[in-house]
Structure formats: C-alpha cells, structure tokens
Amino acid sequence: MKVAKILISEDEIQAKLAEMGAAITKDYEGKDLLMIGILKGAFVVLADLARHVRLPVETDFMAVSSYHGGTHSSGVVRILKDLDQEIEGRNIMIVEDIIDTGHTLKYLLRTLAVRKPATLSLAALLIKDDVERPDFDIQYEGFHIPNEFVIGYGLDYNEQYRNLPYVGVMDTNSTSSPTDVQEGFKLVD
Ligand code: IMP
Ligand code: MG
C-alpha cells in the first residue's frame, strides 16, 4: 500500500485556495499579474488557484528538475522549459506545489530577479515544516505540513499519483506497484 493516509482532503484544499485567491484578487486589483506555475507539480495548483483570482491574469509555466525520480532532493536544479515571455517590468507570481529544501526556489528567485520584474511574489500550497532552508518571504501560503513525503494534487512519486484530488502521505517503506496506485484512488470513496 503506497498511500498511508489522507493528509489534506479535496474540500480543505479548495477552501484554502479560495482564501488565497481572494487575497490575490485584493492585492492585485488594477495591476497586471503573470502567474508562473512550476512544472510539473504546480499544474494542478495553478489551474485551481487561478480560477479563484477574479482578475484578468496571465499564466505561464517553467519546468525545472531538482528531483531525479526518488524522494530526496539532489540540490541540482536544471531549467527544462523556460518562460514563453519576457517578465521585465511585470508583476509576477511564482506558484509552487510544495516547498521542501527550497533549492528549487532559491534558484528560481535568483534566475527570475535578473530579468527585472516590477514585483515578484510567491504562492505555495504546501510548506514542509522542520526543514532547514534559506529564508524566503512566502506571500500566499497554503498548509504547513510535517516533513514527510507526500503525493497527490500535482505531487508525484515516480510520475504517478499526480491526479489524486487530495494530498496523501506516502508509505515510503513499501515498493511501488500498479496495484498500489489503484489503492490510492480507492481511498477517496
Ligand atoms: P525543493 O527544491 O526541495 O524545495 O523541492 C521542490 C520540488 O521537489 C517540488 O516542487 C516537488 O516537485 C518536489 N518535492 C518536494 N517534496 C516532495 C514531496 O513530499 N512529494 C513529492 N514531491 C516533492
Ligand atoms: Mg515541483
């Protein structure tokens, strides 16, 4: 069994995103905003969060890789897909699924700051507690979670489980099999 338990339910996630979306709507009223999802994980968060923002936002994606299949961060970040547009002088918001070691963000913040956006903010659905990381200001925070490997709602283990509608804790002691993936979906019933 791969999914040990549901940590954050679908309803809890949607309620939190509605709150975050309302705050973003208030803060960016009358301004232009480009929301940048960090692939692959953030595709689900960006899709739902953007629909809670009642402003004509633009969206773009960047793909970076910091994990190479396992459950531990390697610290090596590579750009796999860059933004489609220039960000100089624009208000941009990085949208992340989860902040763990912060390696990915540290790299992204540095890389994007060089391009001189007018403002840069950060929205993250999940923030792992008890992890030593560089200090960032996170303007729009979802949930603080324990330092465990989680899956679902965009987060994968070996590319699976991203489409679970909830965030679950993975049982890292067992090995993956197609049956385990099926079990994860049964949990929502
Ligand atoms: P960081 O660079 O260590 O902060 O990790 C950022 C990226 O690692 C996230 O965008 C995720 O793709 C991945 N990641 C970190 N923790 C988890 C987890 O618990 N489950 C699945 N992916 C994770
Ligand atoms: Mg990710």
Separation of alpha carbons 2 and 35, rounded Å: 33
Per-residue pLDDT band at 176 (split at 50, 70, 90): low
Best residue among 2, 68, 97, 100 to mutate for probing ligand 1's pocket (most ligand atoms within 8 Å of CB) is: 100
Separation of alpha carbons 151 and 1, rounded Å: 13
1, two tokens:
């069994």
Catalytic residue among 97, 100, 137, 156: 100
Say yes or no to pLDDT of 104 above 60: yes
For residue 34, list its beta bridge partners: 58, 92
Separation of alpha carbons 63 and 171, rounded Å: 27
Q: Is 180 a catalytic residue?
A: no
The per-residue pLDDT for 1 is: 46
E strand or H helix that includes residue 22: helix 10-27
- Give which of 59, 57, 44, 43 is closest to 14, Cα–Cα: 44
The per-residue pLDDT for 189 is: 41
